[in-house]
Structure 1
Amino acid sequence: MSAVIGTEREQACRLQALVTGAPSRVVAFDAGRPVTRALFERHVRAVAAALPSAGYAVNLCEDRYRFIVALCAAALRGQVTLLPPSRAPAVVDTVRADHPDSICIGDIPLDPAPPGFWRLPDELAELDGAPLEIDADATLLIGFTSGSTGQPKPNLKTLASFVTSTMQNLAAMDDLFARDDVTPLVATVPPQHMYGMETSVMLPLLGDVAVHGGRPFFPQDVARAVADCPRPPVLVTTPVHLRALVQAHGDDPSFAMPPIAAIVSATAPLPQDLAQAAEAAFGCEVREMFGSTETCILARRRTAHDDAWTTLPGVTLAPQPDGTLVDAPHLATPVALADLVELLPDGRFRLRGRNADLLEIAGKRASLGDLTRKLLSVPGVLDGVVVQLDADAHGVCRIAALAVAPTLKSDDILRALRQQMDPVFLPRRLRCIASLPRNETGKLPRATVLALLHS
């Protein structure tokens, strides 16, 4: 009878390795030291053995290598990792309130520490044992949308879906990687973000990629991380970080970026002029990825030369009146996105904005994305955003804007905007501030923007 039960369990539980490749394959650089798959597995087993019992684990690790170790250790213990859209205490508390049986895992002291906080040791222990395998179809993690267009929403991901999507991503970036060798990867995007998860966590776990353990933020930090790598790495970043790197290259005589194999960008639209400037500054291709927390990466383009997107293998798009229906091999069911697309005869597509971004006032149409681009084109405006406010007491949804422009006043910016946009779309409220409250991936939570506009 026990043999029959064991067979039934094996059929119900489809095991999948958390990390692949030869035991000697380098999967990461921890404080500059190469970490092989064999050593990584020993670290994971030791952390898994020490973790407190729980159903869920909020992974707050700052160090990327320790984040990956904690993710795999939690999975080995059957704990679902929670990835809040922000590591702000209030946001973490909200996610934990919806998942009461949860702990928090971190790698640095937190003050105040959240309830159920468990800190990784500074020196990771090692433990031999069985291969790292889990149920491929069980929930590995729950990622939450950023909240840039409303309330964050949970999205469940399995290891099986990541295996499929990672194979797509490896194919989409194959010509950026080294031939017959492991490719180093440096990332500025946090691993808690789905784009960071796909590129800086799943690629080193499942492909011939070795990730740098740090999460550099400022240009000099990025340059040091690139210099740590044994050969030119792929840099995974965002438009906000890329703009800072390009500015440092042009304005800071002390800044020197070591050679980079390629640059990958996502999380927000990448302006073509910025992509061109980055390719000229760093002598490599800039490849932009398009995706979402709900769908993962689904298309790519070389933005410096083209505005059309190429879908990843197996991805199909079906335009809808209010968005686009996305189907892909790694999705259990098709996913509806708010993005509007135009399918091209050659199989590629162009983005036409989001349904929620489209404005119609006095019979005239515009998009918030295009209005924001016009704001950013005003000389002296370093950063900015145009939004539509919630309806007032009379049901009117007015246009407003935030701008970072140290040398300008609101009237100066409005005067310039009158030359570029129809008067009905001019911001009725335009506030100049020192900096925009962007999150770690450069996005602007709508609630935070509205609070600034109303303050």
Structure 2
Amino acid sequence: MMPPFTILKNVAAGPARPDDDFVPGRYTYKDVYAMAAGFQQHVFAKDRPVSLCLCTTDRGKMAAALLAALTRPAILILPYSCEKTVLARIRQEQGFSKAVTDAPADLPGGVAAVDPVPPSGGHRAFDASLMRDFGEVFVKLFTGGSTAAPRTWSKTIGNLFFEAIYHAQKMQVTQQDRFVATVPPCHIYGLLFSVLTPLVAGAGVIEGIPTYPHEIQTAIEKHRATYLVSIPLHYRMAAGMDLPASSLARVLCSAARLEPEDSRAFYEKTGLGITEIYGSTETGGIATRVCTTIQPHFTPFDCIQWKQTNGSLAICSDFISPEIALDADGFFVTSDRIRVVGPNAFSLEGRADRIVKVGGKRVDLDEIRMVLLEMPEVSDAAVLSVADSGRRGNEIRALAAAQASAGQIRRHLADRLPGYALPRKIRLTDQIPVSPAGKYDSTQIRKLLDAE
């Protein structure tokens, strides 16, 4: 295979097929590179850094900004929310004064909306002569946007583009492929698989973010989509879709754990195994598994070195954010506990940081959740701990989406867990709250658990 840096230089040099659609019905590749030239000439500068906030779901403009940032000292900020108060907070931290936005009225004071296409409509050609070093930071992403303290992670050109190139090569994405994504492009999963991977492969991505089953099905059928990029919640809802003779060749899932019954149901309905991608914003992608009638073990990417360190997964990867501290051998020890099941496979056994002390005893919150899910009446559950001013140290609380009473759930748990590990509070709900990225919304979960 061609080295990733060679592919990236070829991508920057210009589209192989300018008249092909990047976003069918809206942008050709020629349009995207023209907008990238617009960013170069009217937004960024050659001699000084410029921070630009991308408050948009317009994948054509995002692709153009990413291309332009390959050649100018720009930092692209992808906010976890485009609410005015959130943008004001991010602006205070990151110092941007320009933004590409779908809603100019929501920008905080002092921030100017910019458009890569000037009123005149004229552009010089995209200038790829000043390629930046691949180790330079050019994107800022956020994690924990559903909690009170979201964290910023930097990504270098190599972090993002080389991972996108890896996926495009590994999945053999072609110029004929079309992607439908139910996730926004401001999160790393959506950015990689609904902007960057199609871009480096010369493929197309369908406009919009369908979320309901009929919207997803319509987008797939109308555009003969070959890739579906989605999250566990949407696969759970897939029972409402009818895709027996679909054009889909591959379906992807990330952002949260895919439940075995959901992957089995989707496979039985469509004949397609869901490719679950394991990783995080700060680490980038790490491993995959294809879920059919069983949940197989994860297989690490063949471009990543991995090992088990004190029960946790340790990785050495070109996709890791530069803020991450590495050991002397270049490895980062994650908080994910694993069980090695073969020369190149592992299973996830929970989070090391999901173990808390209750009355001096170690309690695994993920184990409590799994015991909850063993109950047929419980479709989903979230378990967390809160500080206890008494001698227990922590108090366990559980939120369950269940067709059962709190008493029935408590009895189920009491038969299987030691007394100190039993939740002190159990609340019932129709559905566990999730963020737009498909992760559990910790803030909303805590509000439900705190309600009397």
TM-score (norm 2): 0.83
Q: Is it true that 1:317 corresponds to 2:306 in the alignment?
A: yes
* Residue from 116, 136, 141 that aligns with 2:111: 116
Task: List runs of 5+ in structure 2 lacking aligned partners.
Answer: 1-7, 323-329
Report the Cα offset of residue 292 of structure 1: 0.8
Aligned partner of 1:65: which letter?
G
1:268 equivalent in structure 2: 256
1:5 equivalent in structure 2: none
2:338 equivalent in structure 1: 341
Q: How does 1:119-134 map to 2 (within 5 A)?
A: 120=115, 125=121, 127-132=123-128, 134=131
In the alignment, the residues of structure 2 paired with residue 257 and residue 190 of structure 1 have an alpha-carbon distance, to the nearest angstrom, of 27
Report the Cα offset of residue 352 of structure 1: 1.5
Aligned partner of 1:172: which letter?
K
1:199 equivalent in structure 2: 193
1:217 equivalent in structure 2: 211
- Secondary structure of 2:342's partner? coil
Report the Cα offset of residue 382 of structure 1: 4.2
1:86 equivalent in structure 2: 81
The answer to whether the Cα contact below 8 Å between 2:88 and 2:108 also exists between their aligned partners in 1 is: no
* Residue from 384, 389, 396 that aligns with 2:386: 389
How big is each residue's C-alpha offset from its partner over 1:173-207, in whole Å with a ceiling of 9 and x where there is no partner?
Answer: 23xx46xx421111111111111111112102212
Q: How does 1:228-307 map to 2 (within 5 A)?
A: 228-229=222-223, 231-246=224-239, 248-249=240-241, 258-304=246-292, 305-307=294-296
CA pair 37-64 structure 1, distance change in 2 beyond 3 A: closer
Report the Cα offset of residue 446 of structure 1: 3.4
Q: Is it true that 1:64 corresponds to 2:59 in the alignment?
A: yes
CA pair 320-447 structure 1, distance change in 2 beyond 3 A: farther
Report the Cα offset of residue 312 of structure 1: 0.8
TM-score (norm 1): 0.82
* Residue from 92, 95, 98 that aligns with 1:100: 95
The answer to whether the Cα contact below 8 Å between 2:158 and 2:318 also exists between their aligned partners in 1 is: no
CA pair 45-435 structure 1, distance change in 2 beyond 3 A: same
Q: Percent of counterpart pairs with the same letter?
A: 23
* Residue from 369, 390, 396 that aligns with 2:366: 369
In the alignment, the residues of structure 2 paired with residue 367 and residue 24 of structure 1 have an alpha-carbon distance, to the nearest angstrom, of 54
CA pair 325-45 structure 1, distance change in 2 beyond 3 A: same
Report the Cα offset of residue 451 of structure 1: 3.7
Moved more, 424-433 or 442-451: 442-451
The answer to whether the Cα contact below 8 Å between 1:232 and 1:260 also exists between their aligned partners in 2 is: yes
- Secondary structure of 2:263's partner? helix
1:162 equivalent in structure 2: 160
The answer to whether the Cα contact below 8 Å between 2:184 and 2:190 also exists between their aligned partners in 1 is: yes
Report the Cα offset of residue 325 of structure 1: 2.4
The answer to whether the Cα contact below 8 Å between 1:168 and 1:313 also exists between their aligned partners in 2 is: no
Report the Cα offset of residue 417 of structure 1: 3.5
- Secondary structure of 1:351's partner? strand
Report the Cα offset of residue 105 of structure 1: 2.0
Moved more, 360-369 or 235-244: 360-369
How big is each residue's C-alpha offset from its partner over 1:80-136, in whole Å with a ceiling of 9 and x where there is no partner?
Answer: 011233334443332221112443321234447564041548999462313446413
Moved more, 89-98 or 215-224: 89-98
Equivalences, count:
429
The answer to whether the Cα contact below 8 Å between 2:250 and 2:274 also exists between their aligned partners in 1 is: yes
Report the Cα offset of residue 219 of structure 1: 1.4
Q: Is it true that 1:402 corresponds to 2:395 in the alignment?
A: no
The answer to whether the Cα contact below 8 Å between 2:275 and 2:289 also exists between their aligned partners in 1 is: yes
CA pair 16-454 structure 1, distance change in 2 beyond 3 A: farther
Aligned partner of 2:398: which letter?
A
Q: Is it true that 1:446 corresponds to 2:446 in the alignment?
A: no
- Secondary structure of 2:291's partner? coil
In the alignment, the residues of structure 1 paired with residue 75 and residue 316 of structure 2 have an alpha-carbon distance, to the nearest angstrom, of 25
- Secondary structure of 2:159's partner? helix
CA pair 25-343 structure 1, distance change in 2 beyond 3 A: farther
Aligned-pair Cα RMSD in Å: 3.3
- Secondary structure of 2:210's partner? coil
In the alignment, the residues of structure 2 paired with residue 50 and residue 395 of structure 1 have an alpha-carbon distance, to the nearest angstrom, of 60
In the alignment, the residues of structure 1 paired with residue 215 and residue 117 of structure 2 have an alpha-carbon distance, to the nearest angstrom, of 22
Task: List runs of 5+ in structure 1 lacking aligned partners.
Answer: 1-13
The answer to whether the Cα contact below 8 Å between 2:53 and 2:96 also exists between their aligned partners in 1 is: no
In the alignment, the residues of structure 2 paired with residue 110 and residue 411 of structure 1 have an alpha-carbon distance, to the nearest angstrom, of 49
In the alignment, the residues of structure 1 paired with residue 349 and residue 117 of structure 2 have an alpha-carbon distance, to the nearest angstrom, of 48
The answer to whether the Cα contact below 8 Å between 1:70 and 1:105 also exists between their aligned partners in 2 is: no
